[in-house]
Amino acid sequence: MLREAWLPLVVLVALGVAPLLGFGGSYETTLMARAMILGMAAVSLSFLVGGAGLVSLGHAASVGVGAYAVAILDAHGVTEATLVLPAAIGAAALFSLLTGAIAIRTSGVHFIMITLAFGQMAFFTASSLAAYGGDDGYTLYSRTELLGTRLLENRLAFHYICLGLLAASWGGCAMLLASRFGRVLRAARENPQRVEAVGLAPYPFRLLGYMLAGAMGGLAGVLLANATEFVSPATLSWQRSGELLFMVILGGAGRLWGAILGALAFVLLETWLAQQMLHWKLVFGPLLVLAVIFLRGGLSGLVARHHG
């Protein structure tokens, strides 16, 4: 496990030194911030998909709830991180708890569909928030302040905050999966009947896992809102959830750190293709199909095979 994990560590270190090696411009840091933030969301989704076996097609909703919490508090003049963070993470966790309580009663295809449906509900709710921009979205007055300082306005500081939180969410998810709680989750993914036979009901474990992943998505949402200083319903759209799933699969759902690689590859590929041509999705779509059909185990699977 650790022997395989050299690549994501290299990636994290590379992201850490990149601003010092001439990639500290506004364009590069914006791009990297986007990749790291989406990486966080993807890691939390990978925890659900690869760890708990819960394929959610509505994960963008929890990211969006976190982002909208920032926007709504901003509109009411609250920009202090010590207030915004707990509120945003709490809101995302609560949203996941409530929707998860119903969704986790189902399984397989139904779970995919019902998470999609809840995501759509959140999307339409966001579109109707006329006070916060409605369909057009909401531009923040300022970035979130940390203990009264405008630390997040600083490009480098923001970069390292994103990096630190990305590393922390990877480590956190890995520790969760390795814990007794995570073992129950993984066991329930493989064989729920046996877990029940041992005397443990999978439901509360899954619900807690779903809520934790939602909370992490909410944290990513806070950063996303701050990175772009803009929040719109598109953040919650089901296409966004599909993209997050793609990052997880591109990286390889079997390994948490795969999601970091997946997010990075996704953002770089998307940006590069969009620079090359207007209709970049004509290439991106088939690439996605090919990746799914041929790249089983994802990028992290490729790496692991070479070192296996």
Q: List interacting residues with other proteins (CB under 8 A).
A: 49, 55, 57, 102, 105-106, 108-110, 112-114, 116-118, 120-121, 124-125, 127-128, 130, 134, 238-239, 242, 245-246, 249, 253, 279, 281-282, 284-289, 292-293
What's the per-residue H, E or C state across 21-66?
HCCCCHHHHHHHHHHHHHHHHHHHHHHHHHHHCCCCCCHHHHHHHH
Question: Which residue lies nearer to other proteins by CB, 9 or 283?
Answer: 283
CB of 291 to other proteins, least distance (A): 8
Question: Which residue lies nearer to other proteins by CB, 145 or 243?
Answer: 243
Burial 6-19 (b: 16+ CB within 10 A, else e): ebbeebbeebeebb
CB of 249 to other proteins, least distance (A): 5
Calpha distance 117→258 (Å, rounded): 27
Calpha distance 304→285 (Å, rounded): 26
DSSP E strands in the chain: the ranges are 138-139, 230-231
Question: Which residue lies nearer to other proteins by CB, 30 or 120?
Answer: 120
Question: Which residue lies nearer to other proteins by CB, 85 or 112?
Answer: 112
Question: Which residue lies nearer to other proteins by CB, 105 or 194?
Answer: 105
Calpha distance 88→159 (Å, rounded): 20
CB of 126 to other proteins, least distance (A): 9
CB of 264 to other proteins, least distance (A): 18
CB of 257 to other proteins, least distance (A): 18
Calpha distance 204→221 (Å, rounded): 25
Question: Which residue lies nearer to other proteins by CB, 123 or 205?
Answer: 123
Calpha distance 85→69 (Å, rounded): 9
Question: Which residue lies nearer to other proteins by CB, 167 or 299?
Answer: 299
CB of 101 to other proteins, least distance (A): 9
Calpha distance 154→151 (Å, rounded): 6
**CA-closest candidate to residue 89, choices 116, 69, 109, 118:** 69
CB of 278 to other proteins, least distance (A): 9
